[in-house]
């Protein structure tokens, strides 16, 4: 048996994300925002503003940039599932 094959191991996966708090809150944010952003027709400026306000009320410890990133991630998920 070839020794070089036996010595191979799977590469260690290094977490590249820096803000793990957003990752932890993503599922809850998705549930919270589904009524506002769950359909393509509801994804407009007013709905985005309301979504950011709703997340800011739910998570007052997050910064404005973190709120925007979380809303964008949730919107992307809804868009990918729709088509």
What totals of helices (H) and strands (E) does the chain contain, helices first? 4, 0
CA distance linking residue 59 with residue 63, whole number of Å: 9
SS3 content of the chain, % helix, strand, coil (to 5): 70, 0, 30
List the chain pLDDT tens, one digit each, 83 residues: 555 555 677 677 665 656 688 888 999 999 999 999 888 788 888 999 999 999 999 999 999 999 999 999 999 998 887 65
The first and second tokens of residue 23, run together, are 């990752």
Write down the pLDDT at residue 3: 55
pLDDT for the residue 1:
53
> What is residue 7's predicted lDDT score, i.e. its pLDDT?
67
pTM: 0.72
**What gap in Å lies between CA 33 and CA 27, rounded to an integer?**
10
């Amino acid at each position: 048996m070839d020794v070089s094959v036996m010595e191979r191991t799977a590469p260690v996966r290094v977490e590249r994300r820096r803000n793990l708090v957003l990752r932890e809150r993503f599922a809850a944010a998705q549930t919270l925002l589904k009524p506002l952003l769950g359909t393509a027709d509801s994804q407009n400026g007013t709905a985005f503003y309301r979504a950011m306000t709703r997340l800011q009320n739910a998570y007052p410890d997050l910064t404005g940039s973190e709120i925007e990133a979380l809303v964008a991630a949730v919107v992307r998920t809804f868009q990918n599932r729709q088509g």
